[in-house]
Amino acid sequence: MNILDSMQNYKDTVHTPFHTPGHKMGLCVHPKLKKLLTEDGWKKEVNVTDALDDLNSPSWAIKDAEEKAAKLYGADAALFMVNGTTSAIQTMILGSLKDGDTILAPRNAHRSVFGAAVLSGVDIVYMTPEINDEFQIIEELLPETIEKSIKEHPYAKAVLITSPTYYGRFSDIETIAKIAHNAGMLLLVDEAHGPHLPFLPNSPKSAISRGADMVASSTHKMLGAITQGSMLFVNKERVDFRKIAQTAALLTTTSPNQIIVASLEAAMEQMESCGEEYFKNLLPLIENLRKELKEAGFELLEGELDPMKLTLRISDFGISGKEADKILLTKYGVAAELSNLHNLLFLISYADNEDTLKTLKNALIDLIKDRKKHGKTMNFPTLPKIPPSKILPRKAFFGDIREIPFKESAGFVAAEEITSYPPGIPLIHPGEVITEELIKYAKEVRSFGIKLIGFADQTLERVRVLK
């Protein structure tokens, strides 16, 4: 099947997506943006910077839209990005730190953080977030974990956190910002999963209005922008905005796709004019959906949580998240955002409505109707300690590599990542020393059905190390 056919096939199979992008397969798109993927739009698919302004050096239309977005989120400035939050995160790090500086980041930080370290020569010291044993997922970083790491590494220049997490947990931004700033460090926030926060009633607002210095936000994930459309928000007090804008331009194509750029403006306009109304209508429907699913026997992830993320443990019913995902897709045309051994995660966006939520509820209830509930799943084997880091990410990336048997690799410096999934936490990053404890853990968790990913040899018989 070629690329075009695979897209057609997916469209024919999935009728009710609970995944990104936030516009939900065109269910709720700004009318002017909708027109851009028609014959009329093809006439506008041009790249002429004089007539359309230049993303890499905006001076009027794009500048105006960025200023508007900054105001909506409570930032001093905003930059529109056409290569997703990946490049927003790389811009934050490359634009504010220098070769040899250190950044503190969660162990499960998005891979763009490692990418930024390779590009910049920055070192990363990892912090371990809490693990939720009940759902076997990674939670947010706690202020005390960050405080401890800052005490141990007072020379670090910045703290990066992910908030909200993929599963919708928020960090205490105000407290963390105070801790970081008192230590003379910047607070950078990966808010890939939170572009809707300013418009969501009764929710923590964007980290940029709560003390963070820079925030990377995937507008395309939860709002009405086209895939790849993200934003970077900047507060100028501790950050040289000129340098950040210069870095963004350095990492961006000189032919930015104007449809993606325009979709960021459209997404903002949509939220400005009816965001509040969308969410006001949706929240009671989501509350009702959660209530009905609980009554049907599902265990849902609870507590202070982004209401737009619905995580449920399906393995209680003797079916893995992966299997359930496949059935939901093929039998009901319902697609989850994420599935793993135990859970299904559904992403609800402003574009959802009573019908889509009803389709989800009916599909889930039908899926378990002849299944017996077994109860809770097993706990994790204890995760091994973060291995010692020997070589900077940049040096590890460019180092000479060889392959050796994994069981004989203790003491060697890893040249590839090994991540246990669930919960999605890297056991080793390139540049870190492989330990006996890690080798033992990797063997043990595979017998629990936990997948290890991220390395070349899928059997993990052999591993890539530095020479």
Ligand X SMILES: Cc1ncc(COP(=O)(O)O)c(C=O)c1O
Selection from 198, 194, 229, 200 nearest residue 215 by Cα? 194
| Amino acid symbol at 327 | I
User: Which residues, at least 6 apart from 189, have a Cβ–Cβ distance to it below 8 Å?
Assistant: 160, 161, 162, 163, 173, 207, 208, 212, 214, 215, 216
Nearest distance in Å: CB 347, ligand X: 11
CA dihedral 455, 460, 462, 464 (to 10 degrees): 20
Task: Please give the structure tokens belonging to residue 235.
Answer: 């507060």
Q: Is 265 in the site for ligand X (CB under 6 A)?
A: no
Rg of the chain in Å (alpha carbons):
22
Of the candidate spans 61-69, 81-89, 326-334, 426-434, the one that interacts with ligand X by CB under 6 A turns out to be 81-89
Q: What interhelical angle do 84-96 and 111-120 show, nearest 10? A: 40
* Cα–Cα distance list, 43 to 50, 214, 228 (Å): 17, 36, 21
Nearest distance in Å: CB 125, ligand X: 19
d(CA 344, CA 356): 17
Q: Is 263 in the site for ligand X (CB under 6 A)?
A: no
The residue (of 166 and 233) whose beta carbon lies closer to ligand X is 166
Q: Is 162 in the site for ligand X (CB under 6 A)?
A: yes
Selection from 235, 130, 118, 249 nearest residue 186 by Cα? 235
Looking only at residues 345 through 404 of this chain, which bind ligand X when binding is defined by CB under 6 A?
A: none
How many beta carbons lie within 10 A of that of residue 25, not counting itself?
A: 16
Looking only at residues 447 through 466 of this chain, which bind ligand X when binding is defined by CB under 6 A?
A: none
Given the DSSP bridges, would you call strands 343-347 and 401-405 parallel, antiparallel or unpaired?
unpaired
Note whether 75 and 244 are within 8 A (CB).
no
Of the candidate spans 48-56, 83-91, 130-138, 281-289, the one that interacts with ligand X by CB under 6 A turns out to be 83-91
Q: Is 166 in the site for ligand X (CB under 6 A)?
A: yes
Q: What interhelical angle do 258-295 and 61-73 show, nearest 10? A: 30
Selection from 235, 259, 340, 331 nearest residue 82 by Cα? 259
Nearest distance in Å: CB 381, ligand X: 25
Nearest position to ligand X, beta carbon:
84
Nearest distance in Å: CB 192, ligand X: 3
Bond before 393 cis per omega within 30 degrees: no
Looking only at residues 203 through 222 of this chain, which bind ligand X when binding is defined by CB under 6 A?
A: 218
* DSSP-derived 3-state class of residue 74: coil
Of the candidate spans 27-35, 67-75, 82-90, 121-129, the one that interacts with ligand X by CB under 6 A turns out to be 82-90
The residue (of 200 and 232) whose beta carbon lies closer to ligand X is 232
The residue (of 53 and 190) whose beta carbon lies closer to ligand X is 190
Q: Figure out which of the listed residues 90, 230, 377, 419 binds ligand X, where binding follows CB under 6 A.
A: 230
Q: Is 86 in the site for ligand X (CB under 6 A)?
A: yes
d(CA 152, CA 12): 54
Contact mark string toward ligand X, 40..79, x via CB under 6 A = ----------------------------------------
Q: Is 432 in the site for ligand X (CB under 6 A)?
A: no
Of the candidate spans 84-92, 243-251, 347-355, 411-419, the one that interacts with ligand X by CB under 6 A turns out to be 84-92
Q: Is 235 in the site for ligand X (CB under 6 A)?
A: no
Nearest distance in Å: CB 196, ligand X: 14
The residue (of 22 and 384) whose beta carbon lies closer to ligand X is 22
The residue (of 70 and 82) whose beta carbon lies closer to ligand X is 82
Of the candidate spans 80-88, 179-187, 312-320, 433-441, the one that interacts with ligand X by CB under 6 A turns out to be 80-88
Q: Is 190 in the site for ligand X (CB under 6 A)?
A: yes
How many beta carbons lie within 10 A of that of residue 399, not counting itself?
A: 15
Note whether 181 and 209 are within 8 A (CB).
no
Q: Is 164 in the site for ligand X (CB under 6 A)?
A: no
Q: Is 131 in the site for ligand X (CB under 6 A)?
A: no
Q: Is 311 in the site for ligand X (CB under 6 A)?
A: no
- Which parts of 240-353 fold into alpha helices (H)? 241-251, 258-295, 321-332
The residue (of 86 and 270) whose beta carbon lies closer to ligand X is 86
Number of residues that bind ligand X (CB under 6 A): 11
Characterize 262-294 residue by residue with b for buried, 16 or more Cβ atoms within 10 angstroms of its Cβ, and e for exposed: bbbbbbbbbbeeebeebbeebbebbeebbebbe
Nearest distance in Å: CB 291, ligand X: 28
Nearest distance in Å: CB 339, ligand X: 15
Nearest distance in Å: CB 86, ligand X: 3
Selection from 155, 163, 211 nearest residue 184 by Cα? 155
Q: Figure out which of the listed residues 23, 110, 196, 210 binds ligand X, where binding follows CB under 6 A.
A: 110
The residue (of 228 and 377) whose beta carbon lies closer to ligand X is 228
Task: Please give the structure tokens belonging to residue 440.
Answer: 């033992």
Q: Which residues bind ligand X (CB under 6 A)?
A: 84-86, 110, 112, 162, 166, 190, 192, 218, 230
